[in-house]
Amino acid sequence: MKRTLLVLALSALAFGAHAEDTLAKIKASGTISLGVRDSSALSYTLGNDKYVGFHTEMAERIIGDLSKAVGKKLETKYTLVTSQNRIPLVQNGTVDLECGSTTNNAQRQKDVDFAYTTYVEVVRIAVRANSGIKSIKDLNGRSVATTTGTTSVQTLRKNERAQNIDFKEVYGKDHADSFLLLESGRADAFVMDGSILAKNIASSKNPGDFKIVGEELSVEPIACMVRKDDPAFLKAVDDSILRQIKDGSLAKLYDKWFMQPIPPTNRSLNMPMSEATKAAWANPNNKPMEDYAKK
């Protein structure tokens, strides 16, 4: 009887802990778990547990503002996430804040909350410069690589049916793997967010061999993710983003990561800020991808 009560009590604890107060949690523990990626332009790794990138550095500044908000210096625990596990890890509490390359869409808004959009991404096609592929129609009969767990998989599917073309899809387990499929010749094209394509090409051995071509297959707002139903934490993160936009530090950060040479190869991505990103900063919002497609 006593053992049953203990088990029931423990399981009640496990199920009862849903609407969490992240601010209280990080104040109590003094650490915050930051989700980072390994090979996207906005958040990537240099090896040796060093994580850098536009969104990673922005998140570090958000954590600085959060430290001021809770009144205690917060230690950052960098947690590597993948396209497949980022949402479950945010949902179950392993990761408190994820600032990588996650698209804000209506489906995901059911599971997590998104902060203000800080980058608007377009999905393009990367190919070998000598392949002669110029648009998605040229992909008919070829093999196309994309990463498992990203929105690009569904974008490809939609375009395949809508334009009545047929290509073979090859799934990489992460962005570096998908680019390797293109590099090694196992795929003729790699379809993914433009900044991820640019970053992987810039870091490759011979960047001149690759080109980004084709129309914009999809326009996607990228934002930081936090747990659902925690309005205080979301507001704190949003306030920090607003501050960074208003005092110009976010614009300087964009210039540092997209226009200047970046590690590890010290090449620049050379991607000036798009009109869509400028508009997102001028009117901070967390509208999902579907709202962008409607225009």
Partner 1 sequence: MPSLDWPVFCRDTLSGEQVAGCFASGRDQTYLQWMLQAWGWTVTVSLSGLLVALVLGSVIGVLRTLPDSPWLVRFGNAWVELFRNIPLLVQIFIWYYVVPRMWPAMQSINPTLLVILGLGFFTSARIAEQLRSGIQALPRGQRYAGMALGFTTLQYYRYVLLPMAYRIIMPPLTSESMNIFKNSSVAFAVSIAELTQFYYQVGEETGHQREVYFGVLALYAVSALLVNQVMGFITRRLRVPGMVMAGGAGGH
Binding interface with partner 1 (CB under 8 A): 15, 83-84, 87-88, 107-108, 110-111, 145, 148-149, 153-154, 157-158, 161, 170-173, 177, 180-181, 184-186
C-beta closer to partner 1: residue 67 or 155: 155
C-beta closer to partner 1: residue 118 or 150: 150
Residues in the chain: 295
C-beta closer to partner 1: residue 108 or 211: 108
Smallest separation (angstroms) from partner 1 to the CB of 170: 5
Residue with tokens 């949003």: 238
C-beta closer to partner 1: residue 279 or 293: 293
- The distance from CA 136 to its chain's CA centroid, rounded to whole angstroms, is 24
Smallest separation (angstroms) from partner 1 to the CB of 227: 15
Residue 9 tokens read as 């009590």
Smallest separation (angstroms) from partner 1 to the CB of 96: 20
Smallest separation (angstroms) from partner 1 to the CB of 32: 24
Smallest separation (angstroms) from partner 1 to the CB of 149: 4
Which 3-state string (H, E, C) describes the chain? Answer: CHHHHHHHHHHHHHHHCCCCCHHHHHHHHCEEEEEECCECCCCEEEECCEEECHHHHHHHHHHHHHHHHHCCCCEEEEEECCCCCHHHHHHCCCCCEECCCCECCHHHHCCEEECCCCEEEEEEEEEEHHHCCCCHHHHCCCEEEEECCCHHHHHHHHHHHHCCCCCEEEEECCHHHHHHHHHCCCCCEEEEEHHHHHHHHHCCCCHHHEEEEEEEEEEEEECCEEECCCHHHHHHHHHHHHHHHHCCHHHHHHHHHHCCEECCCCEECCCCCCHHHHHHHHCCCCCCHHHHHHC
C-beta closer to partner 1: residue 55 or 108: 108
Smallest separation (angstroms) from partner 1 to the CB of 94: 14
Smallest separation (angstroms) from partner 1 to the CB of 224: 18
C-beta closer to partner 1: residue 65 or 160: 160
C-beta closer to partner 1: residue 158 or 256: 158
Exposed, middle or buried: residue 274 (CB in 10 Å: 0-12, 13-18, 19+)?
Answer: middle
